Structure formats: C-alpha cells, structure tokens
Chains A and B, each alone.
Chain A
C-alpha cells in the first residue's frame, strides 16, 4: 500500500538558518513525489516535484528537495529560512503503477521560522 510519513508535526528554525522538513514514502513502483505549502487562509500551493531524472529538484521560493531511493525519502530543504516561510508543508506521492491517479499526502509539518 502507498503511504507517506512526515515524522515531525512541527519544525522550528531561526531565520537565516538552513531548514529541513522530512518526508519518507512507501510505494511499490517508482514514485512521483511532490511538496505543497499552505499559508494561513490559503489553498495548497505547489512547491516542487520529482518525476524522474536528477535527484535534486529545485522549486519555488528557494526550496529544494532530494530524492533518495535507497532511503525512500524526499526531504524538503532551504539554505536560509525566512520568517515568511512559516506555513504548513505537505509531502505527497503518487505511484504511477497503481492504476489510480490520486495522490497520497502526509499529515503535514508546521514550519515556524523565528526572527
């Protein structure tokens, strides 16, 4: 069965420091992986995706994520956090061999960047 785990409910980081939001997944095939962000009172916004190719993918707002097949992880990273990055982050996976087109989401990680 497909699943996504975001082990941290909340991550606190000081402004200017690097941040990491963790995501691990379980699928039977080669996954499509996504990160979305939700700001207060807003919808989910697409940040970045991994479909195939280079394991390091770059996305919006200076975020990047590294696909690690052996560790089944897709951690979200940013070299220098901004207070405006504070939001709720969701990791999602789709198994293209599953026969369905739905995404499986994690429970979300609240990122708090402290000034």
Chain B
C-alpha cells in the first residue's frame, strides 16, 4: 500500500508569507495527525482529525495555523503569516486505530524554513 505522502518536502519562505503543507494519508485511515519538531527538540503534537472532524487541536500554537481535512481524505496545514519560530519539520501521520494502540504511519515530513 502507498504510505503517507507529504509535500513539499522542503519549503523556504520569508517571514510574513503564507505556506500550505499537504498530507495524503494511507487510504482508509480515518485518523490523521499533525506533529512538529523544532530543531533539536521533541516532536510535538499539533492536532488530530477523525475523518473530516477535528478531534483534538490542543497543540496548535496560535491562530496563524489553520488545518483542514475536507472530505476526510487529504489534509492541509496553512501557516499565515509565517514567523521565524515556525521553522521546523512538520510530520503527518495516519492510523486506522483512533485509540492509538497500533502506532502511526508517518510521512517523510516537510522541512519549513522561515527567513
């Protein structure tokens, strides 16, 4: 089966610009997660979709971040306007199991650099 696909793999933007990251989960996986790793630190949870609904968005840093999952398939994460501290690697993951017992399948990540 195809894995979790993220694009772009890298993005370099200027402070104040807008960037949209995309994640295509494994087909049939209702659960989709976004995480972020800032340089050298832990991987932090951003939010969790079950189909098209936001199950938990407690990790979203502020209202400059907007995640959507229209139709319950792919998801986008928009950062507008981007700030320097938004730089990091953004990971998407999907799972069949909403209880988190099976583990996730992660994408390769999008490395975002804000200059």
Contact = CB atoms under 8 A, between A and B. Distances in A.
Q: Do A and B bind each other?
A: yes
Interface of A: 4, 32, 34, 36, 41-46, 49, 51, 90, 92, 94, 96, 100-108
A101 B109 contact: no
Given A100-B58, A108-B42, 12 more contacts: A4-B42, A41-B108, A43-B3, A43-B4, A43-B6, A43-B107, A43-B109, A44-B93, A45-B106, A101-B99, A101-B100, A102-B48
B42 A32 contact: no
A34 B103 contact: yes
Given A36-B106, A102-B33, A104-B45, A43 B100 contact: no
A67 B101 CA distance: 16
A4 B43 CA distance: 11
Interface of B: 3-4, 6, 31, 33, 35, 40-45, 48, 55-56, 58-59, 91, 93, 98-101, 103-109
A103 B104 contact: yes
A46 B33 CA distance: 15
Contacts of A36: 106
Contacts of A34: 103
